[in-house]
Every structure is written in C-alpha cells, then in structure tokens.
Structure 1
Amino acid sequence: MLICSTCAVERDEPAPALCPICVDERQYVPEAGQYWTTLDELAKSGQHTTLMESEPGLVSIGTQPKVGIGQTAQLVVTPAGSLWWDPVGYVDDHAVGAILEHGPVLAIAASHPHMFGVQVEWSNRLGGVPVLVSEADREWLGRGGPNVTTWSGSRTIADGLVLHQTGGHFPGSAVAHWAAGADGRGVLLTGDSVFPNPDRRSVAFMRSYPNHLPLSGSVALRIAAQLGDLEFDRIYGNFNNKIPSGAKEVLISSAQRHAAWSRGDFDHLC
C-alpha cells in the first residue's frame, strides 16, 4: 500500500505515475512532482498522531507533522459506538488504542475523496470496521477490500448520528449530523462540503479550495436548503475549524450571500 504525499490517500500497488485525486482540477500535483510514501517511511521520519477533546463526545485526531492535506479527523462517540470521520493519512498504535478506549467503532466515513486518508488501513487496525464510501464517489477509491461498502442519500450510523449526502464539492460530498452534540443543540461535521471560514461568521461553498473554484449560487442554496431541515447549532470543518454557535443561521445567510455575489448583485463594489 502506498500513500500520496500530497493528499495522503492510500492506493494499492502498483500506483499510477500520478495520483488521480491530485491531477483533478480540485487538487494539484506539486511543482516538485509526484511522490509516494509508506506508513513505515512516515513512522521512521517521526510521524505521530495527536489527540484532543473538542467537546464531550467528540475527539479530534491529527498528525504531526502534517500528512498530506493535514485534516483533523473526528471520533464521534455515542452509547452504541463511534463514527471515525475523515480519517487521517497515517495510523499508529497510539491512536488506535485511544479510539478503542471509547468503545467499538461502528463505521469509518469521509466527507469526500480528499479525506479518504488511509481509511482501509484504519479499518484493518480497528478490527475490520465498515468503510462507508458514497456511491457517487466510488471511482476515486484507490484501495478496496471486503470492508468497503457504498451508500447514497442518507445512512444512519447510530441513534442520532446520520450521514447525509449533499453533493457540491464532489457529487458524493457528505456531512455527519450528530444530534447530541453542542449540549444537545446538534452538530454538523462537514469536512469542506461546507467550510467554516476564519471569521467564524460565514461558511464557503467551493468546488476547489486550493485552486479557488467556487460552486454556483444555485448549488450553495440547494445545500443550505437541504441541511436547513436538520437541527444543529455548531459546525466543524475538516481542520477543526468551526462555527461555534448559530451555525444554521450562518449556513443560510452564507448561501444567500454566495448566490448574490454569483448573480452580480454586488458588482458595484468591485
């Protein structure tokens, strides 16, 4: 198994000359060129995982130094078991042990292909946990196996913990709705299907973040309308960036602003 050093998505050997995810217009191959690495190589370089509690029932796990895109994965803990969300591109015994201390893992899922990480390797280390991949994005899988299964629409992980396909960034882009989060007011884990901005008062809707390709206003409004049917007060993105409160209102107003700029409503300011 090889890992792309740019996106940190795993791939069966022999790997192609270029990572298919990175040559897509949403990502990039560095000027220095394609480089494939392995878990052993990363471990020898001092790679390790880091853990912190974002809030009760939500454990954030990252990598130091950054691997690939450098997302922060989230372990959502429920009485029935956990969801391992947006798995990072590195795995070690420290993180595996910490995850299992919270009980069984019910599923591994990513918000979109950039966040696949080494999801099949995580599954193997966690005891054969199901890896849920959106049917619309299955073409981006670099590594298969008996634990991989596809889904569409919505998928219940546990009571009060449901995946919802939104599309947008990728056709299969998804969010996880955790009803018990934020002290019962509800949390959305969005990856970058909906991206919490640094101002913490708005979110972004983009086809490509590094290459600055926006989604259309109509798609932004569609995503906001779909998610507006859910109850939530907080949003976490894929770098532990968040809208700490009032997130539903932020989502709706941000989609309306995005659509207005797309229509040219504010061209007089340019």
Structure 2
Amino acid sequence: MLICATCAVEYGEPVPELCPICTDERQYVPEDGQKWLTRDGLEGTGQQITLTENEPGLIGIRTEPKVGIGQTAQLVVTPQGSLLWDPVGYVDDTAVEAVLDRGPVLAIAASHPHMFGVQVEWSRRLGNVPVLVAEADRGWLGRTNPIISTWSGSLSITDGLDLHQTGGHFPGSAVAHWAAGASGKGVLLTGDSVFPNPDRRSIAFMRSYPNHLPLSGAVALRIAAQLGELEFDRIYGNFNNAIDSDAQRVLRLSAQRHAAWARGDFDHLT
C-alpha cells in the first residue's frame, strides 16, 4: 500500500504512475512531480496524530505534520458507537487506542474522494469496520477491499447520525448530520461539499478549491435547499473550519449570494 504525498489517498497494487485524484481538474500534481509515501516511512519520521475535543461527543483528529491535504478527521461519538469522518492519511496504534477508548467504531465515511485518506488501513486497525463510499464516487477508489460498501441518497449510521448525498463538488459528495451536536441543535459535517469560509460567516460552493473553479448558482441553491430540510445550528468543514451558530441561515444566504454573483447581479462592482 502506497499513499499519495499530495492528497494522502491510499493505493493498492498496481499503483498508478500518477495519482488519478490529483491529475483531475479539481486537484493537482505538484511541479516537482508525483511522490509516494509509505506508512512505515511516515512513522519513521516521527509522524503523530493529535486529538482535540471540538465539543462534547465530537473529536477532531489531525496529523502532525500534515499528510497530503491535511484535513481534520472528525470522530462523532454516540451511545451506540462512533463514526470516523474524513479519515486522515496516517494511522498508528496510539491513534487507534485513543479512538477505541471512546467506544466501538460503527463505520468510516468520507465527504468525497479527496478525503478518502487511508480509510481501509483505518478500518483494518479498528477491527475491519465498514467503510462507506458513495456509489457515485466508487470509481475514485485507489484501494479496494471487501469491507467497503457503497450507498446512495441517505444512510442512517445510528439513531440521530445520518449521511446525506448532496453532489456538487463530486457527484457523491456528502455530509454527515449529527442531531445531538451543538447541544441538541444539530451539527453538519460537510468536508468541503459546502465550505465554511475564513470569515466564519459565509460558505463557498466550489468544484475545485485549489484551482478556483466554482459550481453554478443553480447547484449552490440546490444544495442549500436540500440541506435546509435538516435541523442544524453548526457546520464543521474538513479543516475544522466552522460556522459556530445560525449555520442554516448562513448556508441559505451564502447560496443566494453565490448565485447572484454567478448570474452577474454584481457586475457593476467589478
């Protein structure tokens, strides 16, 4: 198993010459070319995983230093078990022990292929828990395994914890809805299906973030309308970037703003 140094997605044999995820228009291969990592090689350089409680029942998991894109995974802890969301590109025994100390893991899922990380390796070390991949994005898998199962539409992980396919960034892009989060007001984990901006009061809707390729206004409005049917007050993106409160209103207004700029409503400002 090799890991793409740029996106940290795992690949089984035969390993491609170039990472397909990074050659796609949504990502990139660095100027100095394709590089591959191994888990043992990362461990030998002192790679570590840190866990931080974002709020009761929600643990952010990061690699130090970052591996690949460097996302923050989220561990949603419920009385029935946990969901590991957007798994990072490195795993070791210490991290596995810390995760399992919070209860059994019910499933692993990613918001979209850029966030697959080393999901099969995480599963293997956590006891071969199911890895859930949107059917629309199964073609992006770099490493296959019988523990992977596909889904579409919506899927319940356990009471009050569900996956919802939004499309947009990828056809299978998804969010996790945790009803008990934000003190019972509800939390969305969105990866970058919808992306909390640095101003912490608006959201972006993009096909490619590094290459600055936007989604259409119609798609942004469609995603906001779909997610508007859920109850939530807070959103976490894939770098622990968050809309701390009133996130449902922020999502709706951000989609309207995105659509207005795409239509040319504000061309007079340019």
Matched, 1:50 2:50: yes
- TM-fit CA distance, 1:13: 2.1
Matched, 1:114 2:114: yes
Q: Distance in 1 between the 2:198 and 2:16 partners?
A: 36
Matched, 1:161 2:161: yes
Q: Distance in 2 between the 1:68 and 1:151 partners?
A: 26
Measured against aligned partners, the alpha-carbon deviations of 1:200-244 in whole angstroms (never above 9, x if no partner) come to: 110000000000000000000000000000000000000000000
Q: Distance in 2 between the 1:73 and 1:177 partners?
A: 15
Measured against aligned partners, the alpha-carbon deviations of 1:90-119 in whole angstroms (never above 9, x if no partner) come to: 001111001101111000000000000000
Aligned-CA RMSD value? 0.4
1:176-195 matches, cutoff 5 A: 176-195=176-195
Letter in 2 for 1:41: G
Q: What percentage of residue pairs aligned between the two structures are identical?
A: 79
Q: Distance in 2 between the 1:143 and 1:17 partners?
A: 15
Name the residue aligned to 2:148: 148
- TM-fit CA distance, 1:69: 0.1
TM-score normalised by length of structure 1: 1.00
Name the residue aligned to 2:87: 87
TM-score normalised by length of structure 2: 1.00
Name the residue aligned to 1:216: 216
- Aligned partner of residue 114 in structure 1, secondary structure: helix
- Aligned partner of residue 183 in structure 1, secondary structure: helix
- TM-fit CA distance, 1:72: 0.1
- Aligned partner of residue 182 in structure 1, secondary structure: helix
- Aligned partner of residue 183 in structure 2, secondary structure: coil
Name the residue aligned to 1:136: 136
Matched, 1:6 2:6: yes
Name the residue aligned to 1:197: 197
Letter in 1 for 2:84: W
- TM-fit CA distance, 1:14: 2.5
- Aligned partner of residue 13 in structure 2, secondary structure: coil
Matched, 1:103 2:103: yes
Measured against aligned partners, the alpha-carbon deviations of 1:30-60 in whole angstroms (never above 9, x if no partner) come to: 0000001100011111111011100000000
Unaligned 5+ segments in structure 1 are: none
Residues paired across the two proteins, number: 270
Q: Distance in 1 between the 2:117 and 2:126 partners?
A: 15
Measured against aligned partners, the alpha-carbon deviations of 1:141-189 in whole angstroms (never above 9, x if no partner) come to: 0001110000000000010000000000000000000000000000000
Runs of 4+ that moved beyond 4 A: none
Letter in 1 for 2:202: S
Name the residue aligned to 1:59: 59
